[in-house]
Structure formats: structure tokens, C-alpha cells
Chains A and B, each alone.
Chain A
Amino acid sequence: MAKNIYTKRDDGRKMTEVRPMTAKVGIVPSADGSASFETGKTKAIAVVRGPRTLHPQHMQNAKTGILRVNYGMMPFSVEDRIRPGPNRRSEEISKVTEWALNSVVDLTGFPNTVVDVFIQIPQADAGTRVAGINAAAMALAHAGLPMKQMVSAIGVGKIDQTLVVDLDKFEDSEFHDGEGSTDIPIVLTSRTKEIALLQLDGKISVDEFKEVIEMGKVACDDILKVQMEALKNGGKDE
């Protein structure tokens, strides 16, 4: 087997180290819940509006409220301008995010309503969907909606033959040497550590994949601490 060439990260981080994180709730005053989550240069904001009456009426569910997620990158968030509005990538990410959040949110107390979660990325340096989910989970909690547990999200990856957490843009999309780069976004529930979101593209053995999940668990614990700390400080004026 060829020698592993990825032994050191450009920013000096350990392979298991998440980029410096900041998190805050209550960033959008008019919303029912809101939060920001940043890891390194990747920034995500999430806003929760609802429960509110769902229109058109035929989409209402008499048994439960509905969670609706809309993810998007701002036109200026990356080097090549992104055309405003939905595209295939953003629609798919919205859907997988919706599934991940739906696994912990309980809206049965709000029949016929919708809870909208808006996720926007002002600045991107890889890992935007997981940053968005971290912010969205906080925003839902900040809105005071019933949740069975929290969720935390992390991108784990394989760079050449090395497993790393929280890939930056270089590791995610500009590293092509050796075995290249494999990106694996994971969402884990806080208490039971079950997988609420999982995507993967690249090449990885079954044993390595099992290790990826274990690394994800450790990183998600770190992230959860930051989320909970922000929620505890939430609502207070600065």
C-alpha cells in the first residue's frame, strides 16, 4: 500500500480536533427562535418561525405540526457568486436536514401548524450543512419547542488514509492526492447517540467507517457542550 501522505493539517489542528467554535442564541429578535453557529471560517445562522397556521389548508396535518426546513447559501458566501434562490443542492440539504431535526422534535401538540426553520450560510469554508444543523437545533430549543433530545452535527472525513474531523475547504474539496478526500456528514442525537443524518462520498472500508462513527461521537460531545452553553446564556442582553 502507498505511504500515507496526509500526516499534518495546514492549520496545525489535531486530526480529532474541531475548529474553534462560537455559538449564540437570540440573534434575530423578531423570530420565535434563532441561533448562530460558527466553526473556523464557516458561519451558519438559523431562524425558527412558528408554530403557525399552515397554508394551503390541504397540507395541514390534524395529528401533528409539520417541520419545514429551508437551507441556502448567501450569494456572497463563496468565491464564485451563487445565484440566489433554491437549487438542487440546497433542496436536497434542506430535506436531509428536515429529516435529522424531525427525529428529535415533537410537534404533536401543535396540530395543523407548521414550524419553519430557515438556515442561511453567510460565509462558507466547508461543513455548511452540519454547521447549519447545529444552529438549527439550538434555534428550535431557543424557540421552546418540545424536543426529545438535542442533535449535534459534524463532518468526518478521510484525507488520503487519515481520518479527520471538521474538514475545511482545502481538505473537503481541494485535496486530490493519494486516495483523495471522503466527506461524511453525521448528525447524532445527544442522549442515545443514534444517527439522524448520514451521507458519504468517496472510498472507505467498513472498518474505517466504524471508526468514523466513533470519532463523530467524540466530536459531537464537544459540539454539544458549546450548544448547551450558548442556550444557557441565551435570551440575556449583552
Chain B
Amino acid sequence: MEGKMSKFIMPNLQKEAIENLLNKEGKRLDGRNADEYRELFVEDGISKNSASAIRVRFGKTEVLAGVHLALATPYPDSPDQGTFMTSAEMHPMASQQFDIGRPGINAIELARVIDRGIRESGFIDMKKLCIKEGEKVYQVFVDIVAINDDGNLLDVAGLAAIIALGKARMPIYNEKEDKIDGYSETERIPLEKDVLSYSMTLHKVGDKIVADVSKEEEEISKFRLTIAMGDNAGKPRITAMQKGKAGTINTEDMETILKLAESKWTEMFPKVKEHVFG
């Protein structure tokens, strides 16, 4: 099936129970409404050795994310800009389904969706990460490690990545020896605060559009759509989208998704901003 993953086995009875409860009462097995998120938990200071390292939890889904900066040569087509890379590891400790080794397609997709969101929005001010044009720049690494997968890793990892960047400290450059001597206590890496966007993944489970899915809901959903939205003079503006799985989206579902995304963004974005820049 999924390269590096073994199959998640779920009894048909459980599938029916989840779908029936949603279709008939609009409720989920854990008591949440279809559009309800689990409680968000953020903890800073996971590693003192990096520019930042944080823990983010939505319910029982837990992710660690850290930022490092290293010295690098700029790309020929952008000699005056720093470089950026995202990696994601679905560590075998996080789920029965994850195996050790080279990242599978799920980890690759997750890393790429998050990488694009940050890169294309221009969230990191790459020009300010240039030390000497054409020769030396800072390379920013965002490394994400899944600790426990109880569904919706995509959103938890995406949130972890932007919070880790928000908290990341500038390195101290030792020019004489051409190396980095740890990180500044006070100075943070340069960010374009206005372009911050927040990413939400909605799934179709049964006949309903569901936010912040559990592992079981994720397993039986027909499709998922990830929507990232940023702030455009107080109104949400779409900055990225990615559809996943083989189900198709009809016009009615799309209307529901856009409405739900707009209202959730309005509710969540101020909190997210507080975590990233607070």
C-alpha cells in the first residue's frame, strides 16, 4: 500500500459506528462536534542546543519540531539569500504503522506541503540571512519528528513548524574561525510577520466535513483538503491548498469546506499568532 507503512486494520463495525454517529447526530466518538478541534498544547524549550525546539499536541497527537541554522553556500540563482529545508520523520515510536528508514510517501508529502507553505509565502526573510553575497549564507532547517500519531499529523506538524520558526534564535557567527558559536539569547531569526498563514485539514467522513480528525476518522475518510489561510486586512486569504486521497469533492462539499475554513481561521488565527510571536 504505502511503501514504508503497514496497513491500519479497522473493523467494519467501528467504521459504521463512526459514520452513523456523524450522519445522524453530527457527533464523533470522542464527543466532539464535526467542526471541533481538540485542545491545543504548546511547550517551548525542548532542546537548548538548537535555535528553537518545541512540542505541540492536539489531543493525543504529538509532534516535536526544531530549528537549526548552519553555514551554507547560496544557490546560484539567489546569491544574496539564505536557504531553507524541511524534513519530517514519521518515527516508528509514533505509530504501529511507521517503519524505520528512509521517509515513506506520507512523510515526504507532509514535509513538502509544510515546506512549500513556508517557502512560497516568504515567511522567512531570506535576504537578511545572507552573510556574504554569492559565498556565505545561513541555511535554515526545520526538522519535524512525530511522537504520537492519533490523527491529523499534517496540521499538528504544520503548526509546530511555524511556532518553531517564530521562536528560533539567530546564530552567533564566528568570522575568524568561520563557524557558528551557538545561538543568541535575545535575537530571533528575521521573519515577515504579515504573511504568517495557518493551515487546516478537513476530511469527508460519512456525509460530513470533519475538522481535526482522529486516527480512525482519518483512516476511513473519503478525501482530505488542506487549506492554509493568511491575513489580508483582517479577512482570511487562501495561501495554499492540497487535496489528498482518492475521493472527489463536489460543489456542495466545497462550499461547506470554504465556509468552515473561514470561520475556523477567524477563531484560531489570533491564538496561533500569539504562540508564534508571543
**A204-B237, A206-B236 given; A92·B112 CB < 8 A:** yes
- Chain B residues with CB below 8 A from A201, complex form: 116-117, 120, 239-240
Q: Does A195 contact B (CB under 8 A)?
A: yes
In-complex Cβ contact of A99 among B116, B237, B240, B245 (8 A): B245
Cβ proximity bits B185-196 to A, threshold 8 Å, 1 near / 0 not: 000000000000
B227 nearest in chain A by CB position: A200
28 inter-chain pairs at a CB distance below 8 angstroms, sorted by A residue, are A88-B111, A88-B112, A91-B105, A92-B108, A92-B112, A95-B109, A96-B244, A98-B246, A99-B243, A99-B244, A102-B246, A189-B248, A195-B254, A198-B241, A198-B243, A199-B241, A199-B243, A200-B240, A200-B241, A203-B232, A203-B237, A204-B237, A204-B238, A205-B232, A205-B238, A206-B238, A210-B258, A213-B254
Question: A203 to B251, alpha carbons, bound, how many Å?
Answer: 22
- Partner pick for A91 among B108, B245, B247, CB 8 A cutoff: B108
Q: Are A103 and B246 in contact (CB under 8 A)?
A: yes
Q: Establish whether residues B241 and A88, one from each chain, have CB atoms under 8 Å apart when the complex forms.
A: no
Q: In the bound complex, do residue B238 and residue A194 qualify as a contact, i.e. CB atoms below 8 Å apart?
A: no
Query: Contact at A197–B111, with CB atoms within 8 Å?
Result: no
CA distance A198 to B248 in the complex (A): 10
Q: Decide if A202 touches B258 in the complex (CB within 8 Å).
A: no
Contacts of A92 in B (CB 8 A): 105, 108-109, 112
Asked if residues B240 and A198 are in contact (CB atoms below 8 Å), the reply is: no
Please, which residue of chain A has its CB at the minimum distance from the CB of B109?
A92
A-B residue pairs, 5 tightest by C-beta: A194-B248, A200-B241, A102-B246, A198-B243, A195-B249
The answer for the CA separation of A205 and B254 in the assembled complex, in Å, is 14
Cα A21 to Cα B1 with chains together (Å): 35
User: Which secondary structure dominates chain B's binding surface?
Assistant: mixed
CA distance A197 to B251 in the complex (A): 14
In the complex, which of the residues B237, B240, B246, B262 has the most CB atoms of chain A within 10 Å of its own CB atom?
A: B246
Closest to A201 in B: B120
B230 touches A203 (CB 8 A): yes
Interface contact B238-A203, CB-CB below 8 Å:
yes
Q: Within 8 Å CB of A193, what residues of B?
A: 251
Interface residues in A181-238 by Cβ distance below 8 A to B read 184, 189, 192-206, 209-210, 213
- Which residues of A are found within 8 Å of B248, using beta-carbon distances? 103, 189, 192, 194-196
CB within 8 A of B241: which of A98, A184, A205, A210? A184
A82 in the interface (beta carbon within 8 A): no
Question: How many Å lie between the Cα of A94 and that of B246 in the bound state?
Answer: 13
Inter-chain CA distance A202–B229, complex, in Å, is 10
Chain A residues with CB under 8 A of B225: 198
Contact A209 B258 (CB under 8 A): yes
A206 touches B111 (CB 8 A): no
Which residues from B are CB-within-8-Å of A204? Answer: 237-239
Interface residue? B12 (CB, 8 A):
no
Q: Which of B112, B239, B262 contacts A203 (CB 8 A)?
A: B239
Chain A nearest CB from B105 CB (Å) reads 5
Shortest Cβ gap from B242 to chain A (Å): 5
Given contacts A59-B1, A92-B108, A203-B230, contact A197 B243 (CB under 8 A): yes
Q: Does A55 contact B (CB under 8 A)?
A: no
Report B-chain residues with C-beta under 8 Å of the C-beta of A203: 230, 232, 237-239
Q: How far is the CA of A216 from the CA of B120 in the complex (A)?
A: 23
Asked if A89 CB lies within 8 Å of chain B CBs, one says yes
Distance from B6 Cβ to chain A, minimum over Cβ atoms (Å)? 9
Contacts of B174 in A (CB 8 A): none
Residues of chain A lying within 8 A (CB to CB) of residue B109: 92, 95
Q: Flag A145-187 by CB within 8 Å of B: 1 or 0 each.
A: 0000000000000000000000000000000000000001000
B52 to chain A, nearest CB (A): 24
Query: How many whole Å from B65's CB to the nearest CB in chain A?
Result: 18
The distance from the CB of B255 to the nearest CB of chain A, in whole angstroms, is 9
